[in-house]
Amino acid sequence: MCGNLLETRDLRVEVNGVPILGGVDLEFKPGLVYAILGPNASGKSTLAKTIMGLPEYKITGGDILYNNESILRKTITERAQLGIAYAFQTPPSISGVKLDDFICRICPDYQCKAESDTLMGETCASKNDLYDNFERLGIRNLAKRDLNDGFSGGESKRSELFQVLSMRPKIMFLDEPDSGLDYDSLKVVGRELRTLREKGDTTLVIISHHRYVLEFLEVDKVYILQQGRLVYTGDMSDIPALEEKGYEKFLSEVIG
């Protein structure tokens, strides 16, 4: 009706019987960039994982709508295929599955044929693209490694970003894509996201504590969660004050 790509309505979620989200209403419109901010343990990751459909996050009330239809009954796979993606904060390692093969598998663009070990020395245009992209993200060294196995924090972030970008989703939730990155990697990530924003066909939802990426991307809307509730909706102009005052002071001033 109002052109939301995705929205949560009075979303209530518990984990192991403990209530985490206590009724959250959020809207995400096509092509815009959102920041979800809030103190540690306020429920930011929980929100994103619940939208992705991870089973330990139990919905006890409310709804999640995607193009105005409830997705509560949809499996993780179905949600992913609808165009929802989540970049994990700490992805599990999968032995024997190489990162480059996996990206080939999940990305419609790279036609990488069978397993890479049977492709020794063989090159095809799309495989070259794949490696260019590895190079650009500064993780060429991870291409032949087992998925997430021993990746450093910063490597993990870029590998997650690469995977999620490769899926060409309609909306992506990036869970602290900037934490643990050095300045150069931060720039790389910023640039990737900026390019995506300029294309304008993906909704970006960034969970972050840092100013750099949010400002570089010029986020359209800022949501602040606190103790499992949405307590403030603002925009990029709030970020400097937030950084200066911290959540507690900032929130007490704006909501009294």
Partner 1 sequence: MTSDDMKKRAESAKEKQAQYGEDIDLDNYEYAVSEPSEIESIDDVSPEDQSLVREVGFDTSQENVSGSFIQFDTESILADVLLTQEGLEVLPMSQALKQYDWLKEYLWKAVPVDVDKYTARSELEIYNGYFIRAKAGTKIAMPVQSCLIMKKNQTVQNVHNIIIAEEGSELHIINGCATPSNVEQSLHLGVTEFYVKKNAQLTFTMVHRWSEKTDVRPRSAAIVEENGTYISSYALLSPLKSIQTFPKVRLFGSGAKSDLYSIVYGSKKSKYDIGGLLSLEAPRTSGKVISRSIATDSSEIIARGDLVGLSGQTKARLECDGLLISDSAVIRAVPMLAAHAEGAELSHEATVGKVGAEQLNYLMSRGLNEEEATSLIIRGFVKLKVPGLPPALQSSIDDAIKMSLEGGM
Ligand X SMILES: Nc1ncnc2c1ncn2[C@@H]1O[C@H](COP(=O)(O)OP(=O)(O)O)[C@@H](O)[C@H]1O
Q: Is 167 helix (H, G, I), strand (E, B) or coil?
A: coil
Strands (E) located in 122-211: 146-147, 171-175, 203-207
Q: In this structure, are strands 146-147 and 171-175 parallel, antiparallel, or unpaired?
A: unpaired
Strands (E) located in the chain: 6-15, 18-28, 33-37, 57-66, 69-70, 84-87, 94-98, 146-147, 171-175, 203-207, 221-226, 229-234
* Per-position x/- string for 73-102, each x denoting binding to ligand X as judged by CB under 6 A, each - no binding: ------------------------------
User: Is residue 59 a contact residue for partner 1 (CB under 8 A)?
Assistant: no
Tallying the residues shown for the chain, one arrives at 256
Residue whose entry in the numeric block shows the structure tokens 């992913």:
80
CB of 224 to ligand X, least distance (A): 11
Which partner from the list ligand X, Mg ion, partner 1, none does 198 bind, CB cut-off 5 to 8 Å by kind?
none
- Residues forming contacts to Mg ion in the complex (CB under 5 A) are 45
Which partner from the list ligand X, partner 1, Mg ion, none does 43 bind, CB cut-off 5 to 8 Å by kind?
ligand X
Point out which span in 49-57, 61-69, 217-225, 232-240 binds partner 1 (CB under 8 A). 49-57
Q: Which is nearer to ligand X, 38 or 53 (CB)?
A: 38
CB of 255 to Mg ion, least distance (A): 22
CA distances from 218 to 133, 196, 247 (A): 24, 12, 20
Distance of alpha carbon 191 from alpha carbon 81, whole angstroms: 26
Q: Is 122 helix (H, G, I), strand (E, B) or coil?
A: coil
Q: Which is nearer to partner 1, 56 or 184 (CB)?
A: 56
Distance of alpha carbon 244 from alpha carbon 88, whole angstroms: 28
Point out which span in 38-46, 64-72, 75-83, 124-132 binds ligand X (CB under 6 A). 38-46
User: Is residue 16 a contact residue for partner 1 (CB under 8 A)?
Assistant: no
Nearest residue to 182 via CA among 152, 146, 219: 152
Pair of tokens at residue 81: 């295929």
* Per-position x/- string for 80-119, each x denoting binding to partner 1 as judged by CB under 8 A, each - no binding: xx---xx-x--xx-xxxx----x--xx----------x--
Q: Which is nearer to ligand X, 11 or 112 (CB)?
A: 11
Nearest residue to 216 via CA among 237, 187, 238, 242: 187
CB of 40 to ligand X, least distance (A): 5
User: Is residue 44 a contact residue for ligand X (CB under 6 A)?
Assistant: yes
CB of 213 to Mg ion, least distance (A): 15
Query: Which residues of this protein are in contact with partner 1, per CB under 8 A?
Result: 52-55, 75-77, 79-81, 85-86, 88, 91-92, 94-97, 102, 105-106, 117, 146-147, 163, 167
User: Where do contacts with ligand X occur on this chain (CB under 6 A)?
Assistant: 15-16, 20, 38, 40-46, 56
